[in-house]
Structure formats: C-alpha cells, structure tokens
A and B are shown apart, each in its own frame.
Chain A
Amino acid sequence: MAAALELVLREEVAPGALVHWLKHDPGRRSAEENHIHEKLVSLSLPQKDFVPFFLNFLREQTGQILTNGPSTPAKTPNSKALGNSAGRGSQRRGSERRAGNTTGSSSSRMQLFTQKGSANSCSPDTSFAPSAVSGGSPAFTGSNLSSPSSDFPSVVSSVSPSFGCSPVFNHSERRSAQKANLGNFFVAMPEVQPTRRGRRKGNSSTSTSSRQVARDLGRCLADEEDGKSDNTSWSGGRKKRNEVLGVSASSPPDQLNLNNLEEFPPMCASSGFTNKSKPSRRINPTPVSIERPLSKPKMCFTSTPVSQSPAARFPSGASHEAFVTIQEGNVASTAGSSLQEEREMLKKERCKLLHQASSPAGLSLEPSTPTKLSYTRSASLPPEGHLMTCAYLSKVSCKKQLDQLALLYSSCIAENLVPNIFLELFFVLQLLTSRGISAEDGESDLEFNQGCKGAVERQHFHNVHNCVYFAVQVLDRQYELISHLEKGTLKLLAENERIASFSPHLHKRLRQAYESSTAKVSLLLPSSVQSVSFQPETDNRSNFPSDRAFHIFKKQRDIFYELLREWEDNHEKPAWDFERVLGNKIRAMMAHLTATCNHSHFARLFQKQIIQMCKGPVGGGTSWGDTPDQDVLNMLGCDDLSRLKRLQERFVAPQSIRGPCPPPSFPGCQQFFRDFILSAGSYQFNQHLMDNLCLKILELDGLTLVEHEPSDGEADMEEQDEKKHFTVVLMSLRLLAKFLGFLVFLPYRTVEPPTRDLHESAVALRNQSLPVLDVLKLLQRAIQGRRTILTIPWIVEFLSLVDHIAPFLDYYGTVFSLLLQVYRWAVLLTWYVCCGIGIPRPPGFGLHVGCLPVDLGVSEIQGSMVPSEDKEMSFLNKLLILAVLGWLFQFLFQIPSVPEELFFTSEVRQDGLMMDTMSSAQALDSATLVDQQLLYTCCPYLGELRKLLASFVAGSGAKNGGFIRKITPTAAESLAPKPSVTQQKLQAELEQAFFHNQPPSLRRTVEFVAERVGSNCVKHIKATLVAELVKRAEVMLQEKVKEDNTNHDKLLDEVCTQLYEEGAQAFLKGREFCRKKGPEAVRVLLPEETSAAVLSSAEDIAVRLATEKACTWLSTNITALIKREVRTTFSRMLKIQGPSLPSEDTQEMKKDCPPGCQHHAPFPSEIINEIKDVLCIAVGPRDGDEAIHYAHLECLLEKLSQTLQCRKFMCPTSEQQLAKCTIELASLLVSDRIPIQGLELQTQKYPERQRSKNHPICNLLTSLLSVWKEDFVMLVPVQLIFSKKNVGYVAEAKQREWDLFLFMLHGLVEYNLMGNAEIESYLQSLQEFAWPSDFLKELETLSRVFESELHIEELRTNPCELVRQSLGAVTAQS
C-alpha cells in the first residue's frame, strides 16, 4: 500500500488514477479495459487495503500536531473488543476515561484502522485478555519482520483465523493468512511478510505506538533487506515519533538533536542500538497504566485489545522495556535515554495533569465524551500563553506532496471510499484548527526528513502550516459539501482567518455561501400534548372481547401513565432506580394484560406514546417542560418566540451531543420506554409491540407525498408542506425502527462478545430463522423505487442496535453490503461532478456508474435505468444518507469482530443498482426533502463540526471549555410582560390541543384542505388578478413600445412597478378566496355529525392555514410572478409583436322552564336542605324552645314553588325527594307536630277567619296542595300520607284535632290529586291497624264521609259545595 502511495507522492501516478484503480472491479474487467495505470497494475495490490492504509497514514502523520478538539473517534486505536461488549453505558468510568485520555492524547487519535486481531478470542473476563494472544505477536512479529521465516508460526496462525473469523465472509477465510491481523488494511503487498502483521498488531495494541504503523511500514519497506531485529526497529519507529513529540513538548533543541539520525534512527534502522540504550525504567506514568479498556473501544473503529500488562506481551526483557518506553512515548523521549531526562518527562506529565485538574470547565465535563476531549487537548497543549500557533502559507513545506495527498484524500472522500465522510471532515477541521506546536521554523523540511528513503515515510505534517495548508486544500475541494452545512458552521468557516490567509478564493466562496445560506438549524421542536387521546373507534368497549378485558385495560392505561409520571418526576434524582421502583409495578401490569390478552391494545398505546413523546430530536429531554415558562418569557421580554427558542437551544441542545460519532442511545423519554420494555420482560408484550412497530413502520414507509405538478408557481409552497410531512414521517420511522431494532436484537444481546465457537454455532443457528421485519426487501424496494431517503435513515437506526452476531448472518450481511453499495453509489452520481475536483478522468470513468444489478440472490429486480442527471437525488438528501450510513459503519466497526471488510471490501461492485421509472410522487429521492434542519436533527453529531470551529475561535479553548456561547443580554426596558407573545404562544398551543382529542382524520382533513385551498388560492389569483394585470400590462406595453422601442428592460420594469401596487390586492383576494372555499371544503369533507363548534373551529383553522400559506407565498412571489408573466407576455408580444375570520357559531338554546324564566329560583338542594331542617325540628329531638316561624314556612313553600317551576337545576332525584319531604311535611303539619311561632299573629291578621285557629295552617296546606298539583312535573306520591307512619302522627296528635286531616283529604280531592274512592279505600285499609280507639272511630267517620261524597260526585254536583257541606257535617258530628 505504501508503494501505491509512494507512487502518488512521487507524482508518478495521478491521484485520480489511483482512485480509479481503487474503484475498478478486478473481477469484471481487466485492468487494461479499465484503463488502470500500469504502475498500479504492476503493484498488484488488493485495492481494498489502500484506503485504510491511507487514512491511517494521515492520522499517523498528523498525530503530534493535532491537539485541538476531541480526537476523531475513529482514531482511537484500540480494542473494539472491549468496547462494545462492555463499553455501553455505565461501564465507562471516569478513571478509565482519564487514563485512556491521557494515553490517548496523541496516540488515541492516531490510528484509524488497527487490526482487530484477537477481538474474537475468548476470554470474557477482561477485555484485554485477548491481547494475550496477540500480545505475543508484537515481539515475534518484530522478529518475523526481519526474518521472513517466522520463529513463531503457530502463534501467528492462531491469531490470524481468530481475526478473520467470520464464516459468512468467505473471502476472509480465503485470505486468512494475509488478513490475519491488524494490518489487513495496511499490509497489502505480497512481498511483505504476513508475519509483519503480527507485529503491527502489537503496535496497535499499545495505544501509543499504533500511529507509527504507517510510517513503520514505510520504513520497513525500505529497510527490509537490513534484516535488523524487529524489536529495535520497532522501537526505532517509536523513537522517530518521539522525536517529534519531543519537539512539540518544547525540549530545548540543544539538549537533544531529535533529528539526528544517528541518535534517532528511523524505524528499522536502529537495530540493537536502541535496545541497549533503553533505560531500565519501570515507572509507568499514571495515565498510561490505567487503561480505559471499556470506554474507548466504543468510539473506535477497529479494535485491538490494548493495555495488557507489558510483561505479558513481551517475552523478552528487552522488548518489555521497549514497550514501556513506548507507552510513555507520547510524553517521554526515549531517545534521551538518560534518567535525568525521564524525570523531566515525568515532571512535565505531572504538570499537565495538574493543568488539567485546574481547568474544571474543561470539556471533560461534557457527559460521556468517549473522545476525552479535555485530556486530549490539555495533555498535549503547552501551558497557556502559546495556545495559538499562527499558521503561515509561506512556511508550508513540501507543498507538492501535500497537494497530491490533498487531492487523493479529497477524491477518496468524494468517492465515498472512506467509511464516514463527516468523520474525515471533522479530521480536516481538526487539522485546520490545530494548535500544535510546530517544529522549529528554522528546520527545513529536508533536514527533517533526511534519511527517509521513501516519500511515504517523510513527515509531511510536522508543522501547523502544513496541516493547515493540507486542510484548506481539502476543504477547497469539498466546498460543495461544506457549503451545505448549516449557517452557523459556515459563519465560523467564513470567519476563519486561516482559511482566509491560505485560500482567499475559498474564503470568498465561503463568505458567499454564508451570506446566501438560509440553513438555520434549531434543535428544538415544538412540544405537543402528552397523552395519547382516547379514540372510541379503537378504544371503546366493542374493541374488547369482554367487559372484564375492557375494564382491565382501562386500569392499565391509567397505571401506565402513572408510571410515566413517576418516572418523569423522579428519574433524574440520583438514587432513583427504574427497576427497583417501577419494575414490580410494570410486571404486575403485564400479568394483568396477559390474563386478559390485552397486549395488543397496550402495545398500540405504548407505540403511540413513544411517537407522542419522543419525536423531538433531543428525545424530549426536557419533555413536558418543553415550552418555556411563562415567567421566563415575560422576563426576557422576547418579542418573538423563535428568539426565545434559539436562546433555549443554546442552553440545552448542544451540550447533549457526544462526539462526532456517538453510539446509538435512548435519550430523554426514550429511556423510559426502553427501561419499561426491559423491566416488563414480557415475551407477549414484546411480540405485540414488535408487530405493532412493524406495522406502523410499514405504514409510514409507504408514505406517498401529495403529487404536485411541478408547475412554476406553487411548487415552492407545496414543497414546504411535503418537507414538513416528510420530516415528521422520517423522524417517527427512525424512532420506531430504533425500538424495533432494540426489541429484535434484545434476546441476543450479550455483555461480552461470544467466543468463536459460540459465535459460529450462533451464526449457523440464526441463519435458519427469518427476520422479523424484512428490511432487506424494504431496502431493495426503496432502492428500486428511489425512496432511499426515507427508508435508509430508519434502517440505519434499526441496524445500529444489532447484537454481536447479527452482522455475520447471511441476511444482515446482505443488508450491509447493499447499504454499502448505496453508500458508494450515492456519490457516484453527482458528487464527483459537484466537487469539481480536478481528477483526470480516464475514458469511461464516471460513465459506468449508474446501473449495477443488485446481485444479492434476489434478482427479481427488473428494469434498469441509468438515473439521468436531473432525476437523481438532491444534494442534501444524499448528504443525509451518507451521514447516517457513515455513522452506522463507524459504529459497526466498534462491534468487536465486525470485520472492516464490511466496508472496505473490494467486492462492492459498482455495477448495478437498478431502479424503476416511478412517478415523481413515489420517487422521493429526487424531491428536495431534506434541509439542514432535518439533516442536523437526524445527525446531531454533525454539530460537532461547529463546536470544533467555535472552540478554535474561542481561542483559549482549553481553559474555558472552548465553546463560548455569546448571549446578547436583553435590554432592561423590555422586561415588561408582553402579552402578545404569550397570547401568540397560547394560540398555537390551543390549536394543537384542539386536534388532540379529535380523531386523527380531522387534522388530516384540515391540513389537507388548508394545503389545497392555499394552493388553489394561488392558482386562482394567477388566473384572475395576475392575468388581468398582465392584460393591462400588455396594453400599456403596447403603447409604450410604440413610443420608445429601445430599452425593453426598462420599459418592463416601469410597467411592472406600476402593477406591483395593484398586486397587493392579491392578499385581499387571497384571503377572501380562502375564507370562502375553506369552510366549504371542510364542511363537505368532515362527517355530517361533526358538532357545530368543532366544525367551525376546524373551518377557521383550515382557513387560517390556507390563508397563511397563500399569503406567505404571495408575499414572496407575487412581484416576481407578475414580472415573469409580464415578461413572457411581453416577449411574446414582441415576437409577433391573504388570516381567517370566524364563521358563525350556531347557538344551542335550552328548552324547559316557563317563558322568561331567569333561573333565579333557589336550588333544589337548598330547598331540600331547608325542609330537612324543618323536619328535624318536627321529628326532634329539639332544644327547649326551638321553633319555626310561620313566615319562614310560608316563605319556604313559596320558594319551593319557584324552584319547582324553574326546571333548569332540577333532576329527577331532587324532585322525588322534594315530593317525599313535602308529603312528610304535610303529615307533620296536619298532626300539629311542628312547633310554629307566630301562629297567633296570623290568626289576628285575619280576624274574619277567627272561627278556626287552624286557618293559617290550612293556608300552608293549600300551598302544598297547589305545589303538588301545579309545580311538580312528576306524579307526587300523595298516597304516602296514608302510610302507617304518617297516619300515626295524626293519631298521636295531642289535641285530637283531626279537622286538619280532613281538610287535607278534601284538598287532595279538590286539587284532583286523588279521587274520593281512592281516599276511601286507603282509609278503609288503615282501619286494619291497631289504633287508639278514638282515632279508629275517626277513621271510620272519615271513611264514610268520602263514601258519601263519592255518591254525590256521581250525581255530578259541585264538589266544592259538597266539601263545605260535609266538612260542616263532620265537625258537627265530632
């Protein structure tokens, strides 16, 4: 590989040709046919190894200079083995991180692709253990290196298979000898001994040494004949690097001449010399000895187990020492070889540690930054004061080589040959902003690289100037890409003084890009209502098999939300533990669900709730507190919401991102759902949930956007709607897919990677089962249908949760390789052209790119077509796909034992993804759907680029954490609350809330109507107003042309300006149109039964949205539209010559009550209560003189009447009770049981009635009778008067005055409440009870009276007359 690079550096082969070589498929056409450069052909190297080699080469070369910002994760050298098994989550301990950080300060960023070596080997207990296997190898390899006939063949071979390990990838088997370990990427040349790889593995396993690899390689190539001991050569290589470090650590030049090749011979040259010179030191600087095995691998790309104790690795003492030195390599110059110097080194080291400790605001505080930002930076930073190194174009050395490298690198990026283009971009920006201390200016490049035989081993990046130069070169070539980044990043790039000074041209372009960019990104989405609303269609009783099931589900729903609320309240408290607090509750709930088979209902609720709560990009971290506090709003005096939002996200959003390649996680609310699933541990539930998720995913994946005629005007507007819709669907899909992936791979999750045996059997077993969701088919379909922009992002989310084994299954292997094809292919179409890289293109290059058959065993894909330029994916669409795929690849490589071949395999054939010709609505890829907002929402880690740049601007980044956020304080006078903002916000919320409990179709309808009406409105205005204006313009123009036929443009402008004012009418007309059409459409589309209020609100919202849409479009486009129309007309001529207004709300009036009732009557409850009080007193016990005033009773009856008349507040039970109570009251009155005050007064008032002192009571009774008769609606059970109890009162009446009773009975007849016969029969039956004899007699008499009255009644005489007569008779008798 080095040879290939060498050719480029020597300019014998153009980078373009190399890239072409990389891409050509040896299997399909011969090299000649493909126009491969013959020099490359003659090297006969496997192409696949070049890119990893090259990337490592760059990391290696730039290692010591890169001190700024977090290391690109890919460059952490070691052990993916540790990584993914244990690294997830909590295992990442501070100490580990710290240790790793310090070690890694330089080393960790060095190596992009280390071998994975023993990743598969089996010791589960410590992640380092595997290196025991490989650990030996460095030593042997060393020897092997020089002596091709290995001394330890067995070891080596035992290592190699473990590396290749995947039976699925049979090529690995085939080449196992070669690819054996670490180096499969680097080691490409046949003449290089495979054994060397073993050594390299050793290198990589010592984190510090790994970056040396590429250089070592180069040296080895050169020095191979020397046959020197590899131990030495190895340490020699080490030393070489240390030289550089020594310089950067500002050791005085006179002390040591690091560039002295005698003292510090390049890698293989030094032989025993170094060996001997090694001091016998055992002091391990703290950072090195504490490895950080678990956390680091997470971030790393490939894996090599590290940090085994040196002794275990090095069989010989000498090499052991070498190793120790190497471990310290980043700080200590081994070359000094004096104890004194080592002490110096230690001092420095300690100093650095102190320095780190003293900057608490450092980046290390950022949550889970596996990239160990602060340490990386501060460890290699010189003490404050020299933080910035100025970069000068004039000081750049070996420009030519840098140009070549930049070109090659750019091409690799442009051709998607790198696994993650954004990672590379991050790396480039690191170079751009590097603060590393360069070698002394005086040192010439020549001197520095003296003795290097090959161009490859030369130090091209030994100073900041070179790094910056290279970075700017690359950036220049990636302009197209970076110009699509969000505005803030562009601003920082445009303001970057290094770019300005190194490439004014690029600077200018960036400025322009910044100025024209509209790509503002905000990472907070508006919040929504939180619970899933109850929808009768799916949730009411008829959806359940039994009442019990329905009832239980009712409870489950409530329990579920209770759990959710508890989580919400407490999960951030330190001692709170999900499983401990909620685990049993959840399982109890699951048991209930199982008992009633309600899982499917609950799964649906669960899934809906996930979407409801987690759609937001930050995973609803702030969840229901999302909306800013009212007080805060007022306090800030924000005049618009967006400003507040921006401010808020400055506080909240950026901090939550973790490095440029964070592992998949469940942030915010998603955590609840994940933990819920885990705690529930219910097979049934999981299955139902998976079904549910699959269903929803399939549904959403089938999204079709409203087909729009790409006609001139409103394309803009409709695009907006589509984008919005698309965004929502995409975000939901990603979310659901992540959970599906989680569930699908959950059973296979293991903490430790499986041993090889287990691995193989697991693969064999699992190859037999079908996937839960056929992502492969969906992916193929998406590619065919050109809908990858929707499908790939969620498939990536799904796959990001694979377990250790899954990538090795045939099925997922196929999926990955298909994704890889897409990744490669996504570029081929335009990128190359866009980037405008001046790579000489061999004939045919770039032409064969279009269509390649997907050869995956599923070859039903038919119909091929080379995507024509205009139909291909939009740039940002592609960017999104590349970003997510890059992230996935990057992440996958962190899984131990996932072979990088997955990515770098040359078997990715670039000939044939085929697609159908689809209607434009189906083929989402060609629509411009993705904007920066969506891109950054899906890939928040892209924001790291901005952070990096920002920290550079901030200058003393190490001290303050680097990311200064400037917040402009708001003026004091604006502190007064501005209701308009809150009102505005409230209105927006109200509108959202309105839809919440309505069926989803309502919202869809309203949105649909709004969209259509808005669009139609524009059309209408074009057809009427604009057409009219154009006609008038035509007339005007015709006249003017006659006058002055010279300056048409000016003429046109004049006329148009006149028309613009009239164009303003468009808003009025638009508004009118929407107001008219919107409600009509809504009314037609909504169910007939929709209530008036809902209908009118829906109409209003539709009208408002439509008006907004139309007016927004009109306001930005109307003048342009007029102008364009007029111009067309004019040229043709020359050839021949807006918020809504509310609609009426229908009012619903209540019936009942007498006309004109004011509903001021006392409440029934009051009356009942008052009667109750009277009854209490009557029934007793009562306090001595307690009595009721007559007037009170009178008044009570009056109120009773009123109350009964007003029906408003009456309910049947009240009325019933009133009836009963009043009868009771009547009975008590009749029997004189109520102590009444003021009776005498009453009798005096009416002297004419003096005959009977009972008259006042008769009045009351009459009132009662009247109320019973007139005011009650229900039938009053007056017969209760004859109940034994009530008659008993009468019987016990003290004064034996029963005339009131008689009066009462007659009244009943009089008021037609009872008939004489009825009364008579009641009286008869009463006689059967045992009464006092006198009362019994009375009853008999009464009975007779009514009997006779019955007769008289039959004679049809006036009843009133008779009553009076009989009353007289009765009184006479008694």
Chain B
Amino acid sequence: MKLSKAQYEEIARFLGHVQPTRQSLRRLKERFPSQSQSTLLSIFSQEYQKQIKRTHAKHHTAEAIETYYQRYRSRVMKNAAAPVLLELANEVDFAPSLMARIVLERFLQEQEQGIPATWLAFGNEIQCTWLRSQIIKFPSSKTLINSMLRDPSQIPDGVLANQVYQCTVNDCCYGPLVDCIKHAIGHEHEVLLREMLLKKNLSFLAEDQLRAKGYDKTPDFILEVPVAVEGHIIHWIESKASFGDESSHQSYLQDQFWSYWNRFGPGLVIYWYGFIEELDCHRERGILLKDCFPTDIVTLRHSMAQH
C-alpha cells in the first residue's frame, strides 16, 4: 500500500511517543482503520526504533545503568510479581527488551565479577569512577546475554527471569521474539516472491546461489533473463517485508540498492508493507519500487510466446 508523504507523516505524528506495547498498537489500528495492520505495525516499529536510536546513548551511561538496576532491585524486593521491569522501561521511555538487557547485564556483572550494587551507591568518588569504568570495560559476554534473553530460563535468578520474559514478550518492537517474527516475515515474503517468480516462469538466481559464486553484494533474486516492469528493465528483485519510509529507504539505497545497481544494473524493490510514494523517484535511473508483485511484466518475447 503506497502512502503519500502526508499520510505517512500523519501516522508518524500520531506515534509520537507511544510505548511499544500491544495496547498502543491497538490504538493505532483504531485510529487508522483503513491502513493494513502490517503496514501500521511496520511504521510503528520503524518510528519507535528511530526514537530509541535518538535516546539510546542516554540510557547507556554508567549512571543510568546503575539507577535502573537499583530501582529494579528495590521494587522487586517489594513485589516480585509486579511487572517491575516493564514499568521501569515505560517510565523512562525505553524499550522493555532493551531495559531487560541493561538490567540483566548489570545483574550478571554483579554475579560474575562480584561488583556489588551497593558499591556504587556508597563508595567514594574514586571507587565510583573506577567501578564505572569497569562496568563499561567489561561487559558480560554478548552471546551469553543474548542467549539468556532468548531463553530466560537460563537466568539464574528466577524473578529476574520472569521479569525479563515479561519484557521481551510484551515488547512489540525489540527483543528476540520480535526479531524472530521479523525474520520469519522476511523469509516468508522471499518465499512468496520466489513462488510468484516461478509461477511467472521467470528464472532467477537466489541469494545463496549468488553467494556461492562469490558475489560481494547479493540481492534476493537476480533474474537470469531480465524482464521489463512497467516499461523499466529490471535485473534483480529485492524483497523488503517492511514499510519503506524515508530513512530506511535511504539507508537501503546506500547499502544495498545502489550497490546492486552498480553490479547488476537496474532492479525492482518490493516493499510488501508499502512505501512512501514520493520515494519512488529513481525509476528512470534504475530502481523501481512496488508494494506487490508486479503485474505488468514483459519478458523477452521468445520465452513468452511459448506459453
């Protein structure tokens, strides 16, 4: 579904500072009933990510980390069953999954390196400085944390495990579950696309085949025999199971689409969840945007005549 820039901005404005919960999502759907849910979710997610990117740093200072951890601890002491971590995240406008990560990381530091939480709170300035540097310098292993976030059962502290799980399940923009859903969606659309290509009898090389050949940049599909879509020749098709907003499109152009163009010539990008109409401005030069599989396909006539 193509949105005009104005339409898109209306949605983005509405999203302003909402929290990434299913409640927000519900409200969004109610507000824009004419838009498809996936489109809304995608925009929501992207807008939220932009917001998080802006504020990411301030949540990662040693002071902030320490504060969050302390707060978490004291509240959990009071009521372990309450959604402490989730509420904490909402209070400071941070993604629950990311908050969970911060607290978990800090928790592990305390466990492994024996940095007691009280030190920072009560130590002298020199100690504090040293400790802060330690906290920043020696993060727990990323893989361990990721694995714990994926499966909170591994977290030694039962309460924290439940808290973390609650965060990751409730977060609709970040977290392993969301990542997985995104991944699945991406995959599914690639499969869909592949199906459509096969149905249209368009022969292609898929990413893995290309990689095996040693290509340095690989779109999802390279058409072995190019076709013309709406009068534009395309050599490759990239499937994007997201909404094409300005910033994501720009970075895709930079990192992917132009690179493909540089190597394989003009191509087609399908934003399955739609895109801002105005972004489709490189058609002449060789990057075509669509929000669905194109219908107007012209193939080299020889191969068409046989069907």
- CB of A1100 within 8 A of CB of B264, answer no
Verify if A950 is at the interface (C-beta below 8 Å from B): no
A564 to chain B: closest residue by CB: B262
Given known contacts A550-B216, A1217-B184, is B302 in contact with A1097 (CB within 8 Å)? yes
Category for how many chain A residues contact B: 35 or more
How far apart sit A1104 and B153, CA to CA, in the bound complex (Å)? 66
* Contact code string B146-164 (vs A, CB < 8 Å = 1, else 0): 0000011101001001100
- For A990, give its contact among B151, B182, B233, B259 (CB under 8 Å): B233
- B230 (CB) vs chain A CBs: closest residue: A630
For A1145, what are the chain B residues with a Cβ–Cβ distance below 8 Å?
201, 203, 303, 306
Count how many pairs of residues, one from A and one from B, have CB atoms less than 8 Å apart in the complex.
210
**Do A994 and B226 touch across chains, with their CB atoms under 8 A apart?**
yes
How far is B226's CA from A550's CA once the two chains are assembled, in angstroms? 28
Q: How far is the CB of A322 from chain B (nearest CB, A)?
A: 64
Which DSSP category, helix, strand, loop or mixed, fits chain B's interface?
helix
Q: Does B177 contact A (CB under 8 A)?
A: yes
Contact: B22 with A1284, CB < 8 Å?
no
B288 to chain A, nearest CB (A): 13
Smallest beta-carbon distance B46→chain A, Å: 17
A1214 touches B265 (CB 8 A): no
Contacts known (A624-B285, A1142-B303); A1283 close to B153, Cβ less than 8 A: yes
Asked if residues A993 and B162 are in contact (CB atoms below 8 Å), the reply is no
Knowing A990-B298, A1165-B181, A1217-B184, the reply to whether A1288 touches B261 (Cβ < 8 A) is: no
Minimum CB distance partner of A1172 in chain B: B177
A1176-B22 contact, Cβ under 8 Å, with A531-B262, A554-B216: yes
Across the interface, B188 reaches (CB within 8 A) one of A625, A983, A1209, namely A1209
**In the complex, A184 has a CB within 8 A of chain B:** no
Mark contacts of B183-214 with chain A using CB atoms, 8 A cut-off: 1 yes-contact digit, 0 otherwise.
11101100110010010011101000000011
Contacting residues of chain A (1153-1168) with chain B, CB-CB under 8 angstroms: 1159, 1163-1165, 1168
**Contact segment of B123-131, B217-225, B244-252:** B217-225
Say which residue of A1091, A1142, A1175, A1214 sits within 8 Å of B187 (CB atoms).
A1214
Q: Which residues of B contact A1179 (CB under 8 A)?
A: 162, 165-166, 169-170
Are A997 and B235 closer than 8 Å at their CB atoms? yes
By the criterion CB–CB under 8 Å, are B153 and A1286 in contact? yes
Q: Mark B250-289, 1 if CB is under 8 A from A, else 0.
A: 0000000011011111100000000000000000111000
Q: Are A1183 and B180 in contact (CB under 8 A)?
A: no
Q: Are B180 and A1213 in contact (CB under 8 A)?
A: yes
Instruction: Tell which of A275-283, A555-563, A951-959 binds the partner.
Output: A555-563
Instruction: Output the nearest chain B residue to A1329 by Cβ-Cβ distance.
Output: B158
B152–chain A nearest beta-carbon distance, Å:
6
Query: Is A1083 part of the binding interface, using a Cβ–Cβ cutoff of 8 Å?
Result: no
Q: A540-B214, A1100-B302 are in contact. Are A529 and B203 (CB under 8 A)?
A: no
Cross-interface CB contact of B225 among A558, A1097, A1144, cutoff 8 Å: A1097
- A1163-B188, A1208-B191, A1288-B158 are known contacts. Are A990 and B226 too (CB-CB below 8 A)? yes
Asked if B23 and A1183 sit within 8 Å, CB to CB, the answer is yes
Q: Which of B153, B195, B201 contacts A1285 (CB 8 A)?
A: B153
- Complex interface: chain A residues within 8 A of B33 (CB): none
Distance in Å: Cβ of A638 to nearest Cβ of chain B: 16
B228 part of interface (Cβ distance < 8 Å): yes
Q: Tell whether B231 is near chain A: CB-to-CB under 8 Å.
A: yes
B64 within 8 A of A: no
For B264, give its contact among A534, A991, A1169 (CB under 8 Å): A534
Q: Which residues of B in the span 73-113 have a Cβ within 8 Å of any Cβ on A?
A: 83, 86
| Interface residue? A1148 (CB, 8 A) | yes
B203 contact set on A, CB distance < 8 A: 1091-1094, 1145
- Set of chain A residues within 8 Å of B213, measured between Cβ atoms: 536, 540
A contact residues around B301 at 8 Å (CB): 987
> Contact: B259 with A993, CB < 8 Å?
no
Residues of A within 8 A of B225 (CB): 994, 1093-1094, 1097
Docked CA distance A150–B181 (Å) = 101
**Complex contact A993–B153 (CB within 8 A):** no
Cα separation A176 to B306 with both chains bound (whole Å) = 80
* Smallest CB gap from A1100: residue in B: B302
Residue of B nearest to A1178 (CB): B169
By DSSP majority rule, is chain A's interface helix, strand, loop, or mixed? helix
**Chain B interface residue bracket vs A:** 35 or more
Bound CA span A1286–B217, Å: 43
Give the CA-CA distance A1172 to B165 in the complex, in Å: 11
Q: Say yes or no for A539: interface residue by CB 8 A criterion.
A: yes
Tell me whether B299 is interfacial, beta carbon within 8 Å: yes
- Assess the B300–A1097 pair: CB atoms within 8 A: yes
Q: Distance in Å from the Cβ of A710 to the closest Cβ of chain B?
A: 33
Q: Which of A554, A630, A1208, A1214 is close to B184, meaning CB atoms less than 8 Å apart? A: A1214
Known: A1094-B203, A1145-B201, A1285-B153. A1100 touches B303 (CB 8 A): yes
> Inside 8 A of B145's CB, which chain A residues have their CB?
none
Q: Are A1180 and B166 in contact (CB under 8 A)?
A: yes
> Are B162 and A1288 interface neighbours, CB within 8 A?
yes
Q: Which residue of B lies closest to A987 (CB)?
A: B301
Kindly report which residue of chain A lies nearest to residue B303, judged by CB atoms. A1142
Cβ B227 vs Cβ A536 within 8 A: no
> Is A565 in contact with chain B by the CB < 8 A criterion?
yes
Contacting pair B300 A994 (CB below 8 A):
yes
The answer to whether A1285 touches B162, judged by C-beta atoms less than 8 angstroms apart, is yes
Distance in Å: Cβ of A560 to nearest Cβ of chain B? 8
- Contact A997–B303 (Cβ < 8 Å): no
Q: Are A993 and B169 in contact (CB under 8 A)?
A: no
Chain A residues positioned under 8 Å from B32 (CB to CB): none
**CB of A652 closer than 8 Å to a CB of B:** no
B298 to chain A, nearest CB (A): 6
Cα-based distance from A1168 to B186 in the complex (angstroms)? 14
A1220 to B215, CA, bound (A): 35
Over the window 549-584 of chain A, the binary record of Cβ atoms lying under 8 Å from chain B Cβ atoms (1 yes, 0 no) is: 011011001101110010000000000000000000
Bound complex: CA A531 to CA B152 (Å): 49
Which residues of chain B come closer than 8 Å to A553, judged between CB atoms?
216
* A565:B285 contact, CB within 8 angstroms: yes
Report the minimum CB–CB distance from B174 to chain A (whole Å).
13
Of the candidates A987, A1092, A1173, A1280, the one having the most CB atoms from chain B within 10 angstroms of its own CB is A987
Within the complex, the shortest CB–CB distance from B296 to chain A, in Å, comes to 11
Instruction: Check: A127 CB closer than 8 A to any chain B CB.
Output: no
Instruction: List residues of chain A with CB within 8 A of the CB of B153.
Output: 1280, 1283-1286
B305 interfacial by beta-carbon distance below 8 Å: yes
A1096: interface (CB < 8 Å): yes
| B6 at interface, CB cutoff 8 A | no
Q: Is the CB of B305 within 8 A of A1141?
A: yes
Neighbouring B residues of A989 by C-beta, 8 Å: 228, 233
List chain A residues, Cβ under 8 A from B155: 1285
> Which B residues touch A1183, using CB under 8 A?
23
User: Do B183 and A1214 have beta carbons less than 8 Å apart?
Assistant: yes
Determine if A1285 and B158 form an interchain contact, defined as CB atoms under 8 angstroms apart: yes
Closest to B234 in A: A993
Indicate whether A1142 sits within 8 Å of B261 (C-beta atoms), given known contacts A1165-B188, A1168-B181. Answer: no
Q: Is A541's beta carbon under 8 Å from chain B?
A: yes
By the criterion CB–CB under 8 Å, are B216 and A625 in contact? no
Instruction: Kindly list 4 other residue pairs between chains A and B, CB separation below 8 angstroms, not including A540-B213, A554-B217, A1179-B162.
Output: A990-B227, A1091-B203, A1168-B184, A1213-B180
11 pairs, A vs B, C-beta closer than 8 Å: A534-B263, A536-B215, A540-B216, A542-B214, A986-B228, A990-B298, A1172-B169, A1179-B165, A1179-B169, A1283-B153, A1288-B158
Interface residues of A (CB under 8 A from B): 529-531, 533-534, 536, 539-542, 550-551, 553-554, 557-558, 560-562, 565, 624-625, 630, 982-983, 986-987, 989-991, 993-994, 996-997, 1091-1094, 1096-1097, 1100-1101, 1103-1104, 1140-1145, 1147-1148, 1150, 1159, 1163-1165, 1168-1169, 1172-1173, 1175-1176, 1179-1181, 1183, 1208-1209, 1211, 1213-1214, 1217, 1220-1221, 1280, 1283-1286, 1288
Per CB-CB distance, the 10 closest pairs between chain A and chain B, nearest first, are A1093-B203, A540-B214, A1100-B302, A1283-B153, A534-B263, A1165-B184, A1142-B306, A993-B226, A1214-B184, A561-B262
